[in-house]
Amino acid sequence: MSRFTRRAFLLTAGVAGALAFTGTMALAELPALAKKDKYKVGFAQTESNNPWRIAQTNSMKAEAEKNGIQLVYTDAAGSAAKQVADVNSMIAQGVDVIFLAPREEKPLIPAVMAAKKAGIPVILLDRSVDPSLAKPGEDYVTFIGSDFIAEGKRVAEWLAKNANGKSKIIELEGTTGSSPANDRKKGFDDAIKAAGGFDIVASQSGDFARDKGRQVAEALLQAHPDADIVYAHNDEMAIGAIAAIEAAGKAPGKDVLVLSIDGGKEAVQAVVDGKIAAVVECNPRFGPKAFETMMRYAKGEKIEPWVINTDKFYDSTNAKDEIADAY
């Protein structure tokens, strides 16, 4: 190697090394959010097949409008693959921030990482991603949402006190691989085991959907005619289960206790009517908290890794008084 080529080689190697170094540095850091007068913000919704999702979307749209923020809204219609494509399209459109409600914990990791690589901060709304694959404060800003383990635990603890001798449980799980399904199962199953005297006779996914919940409940009630409790991971499946229980000639609330999570108006009305025994609320009104968190981040504030939503609880003691507030 001549002196000249050797020098050129060292220089190039040096530049390449520095580039590689800044490359990794950039990857280790959360993208910042510049202060602007007008923001263009993405909201990647997972599906719109239930009142909870619709309430959440309405809350996001109303709050964006109130703050003069342009909202790029997409609906993945229940497909994780479409949701990844939706996020990629938001990246291509150059949005300032992406609010993402990841349908499942693992398949949405590539979307989180692609936004990060493009320098766009992501805020997870209502569902989270696998914590071993992406981290708050590093890969995304924060997760805004409820404590799903606590929600499941609250249902189990209520049941332990109010089961009145009923003990055989059918569990209707939410969307397989989603954080609320994973955690509502864990919280409930652990607490019910600790309480003792109960038996989860079957546990199967109804995909957080009313009709799927009805079909699964119908099959499980047939396979386990002695089941006297249904714990559904959301209202939609609980309402589906009520139809299945009635179709089996049984009375929900008497022969079979139904327990649920979400606290939409229809479910709280079912508590008033005695068909659902108890519901843990999962508040879908994310708009104010979502945009407030985004503005705090734009100001350079360090955001806590989890912005926790607090949930109410409905049973026969308060459902009538509080139904007006239910979404």
Question: Where do we find the tokens 């990482």?
Answer: 113
Beta-bridged to residue 256, according to DSSP, are 252
Query: Which CB sits closer to ligand GYE, 121 or 264?
Result: 264
C-beta of 214: minimal distance to ligand GYE in Å? 15
- Residue 3: which residues within 8 A CB-CB, separation 6 or more? none
Which residue from 30, 33, 44, 50 is in contact with ligand GYE, where contact means CB under 6 A?
50
Site for ligand GYE contains 151 (CB under 6 A): no
Q: Please choose, out of 16-24, 46-54, 305-313, 314-322, the segment that lies near ligand GYE by the rule CB under 6 A.
A: 46-54
Supply the minimum distance, in Å, between the C-beta of residue 265 and ligand GYE. Answer: 13
Round to whole Å and give the CA distance between 115 and 97: 9
The size of the interface with ligand GYE (CB under 6 A), counted in residues, is: 11
Q: Is the Cβ of residue 104 or residue 228 nearer to ligand GYE in the bound state?
A: 104
- The rounded distance, in Å, linking the Cα atoms of 183 and 193 is 15
Question: Which stretch, 45-53, 106-114, 197-205, 268-276, contacts ligand GYE (CB under 6 A)?
Answer: 45-53
What's the token pair of residue 258?
Answer: 């139904």
Minimum distance from residue 56 beta carbon to ligand GYE (Å): 8
With contacts defined by CB under 6 A, name the span among 47-55, 90-98, 163-171, 196-204 that binds ligand GYE.
47-55
Angle between the N-to-C axes of helices 109-117 and 80-92, in degrees from 0 to 180, rounded to the nearest 10: 10
Q: Which of residues 222-241 bind ligand GYE (CB under 6 A)?
A: 234
Nearer to ligand GYE, 48 or 162 (CB): 48
User: Can you tell me which of 41, 63, 127, 327 binds ligand GYE, judged by CB under 6 A?
Assistant: 127
Distances (CA, A) of 178 to 101, 173, 243: 10, 10, 25
Q: Which residues make beta-bridge pairs with 70?
A: 40
- What lies within 8 Å, CB to CB, of 59 at 6+ separation is 284, 285, 286, 287, 288
Candidate list 136, 152, 180, 287; residue touching ligand GYE; CB under 6 A: 180
Output 126 or 139, the one with its CB closest to ligand GYE. 126
User: What are the φ and ψ backbone dihedral angles of 173, each rounded to 5 degrees?
Assistant: -85, 155
Q: Does 262 bind ligand GYE (CB under 6 A)?
A: yes
With residues binned 3-state (H G I as helix, E B as strand, rest as coil), the percentages for the chain, rounded to 5, are 45, 20, 35
Q: Is 126 in the site for ligand GYE (CB under 6 A)?
A: yes
Dihedral in degrees, nearest 10, Cα atoms 94, 78, 179, 41:
20
CB of 207 vs ligand GYE, minimal distance in Å: 9
> With respect to ligand GYE, which residue has the nearer C-beta, 30 or 230?
230
Could you say which of 43, 143, 158, 208 contacts ligand GYE (CB under 6 A)? 208
67 vs 309 by CB, closer to ligand GYE: 309
Q: If 0-12 CB within 10 Å is exposed, 13-18 middle and 19+ buried, where does residue 188 land?
A: buried
Work out how close the CB of 55 gets to ligand GYE at its nearest, in angstroms, rounded to a whole number: 10
Cross-strand bridge partners of residue 125: 144
95: CB partners within 8 A, 6+ apart? 40, 41, 42, 72, 120
Residues of this chain that interact with ligand GYE (CB under 6 A) are 50, 52-53, 126-127, 180, 208, 234, 261-262, 282
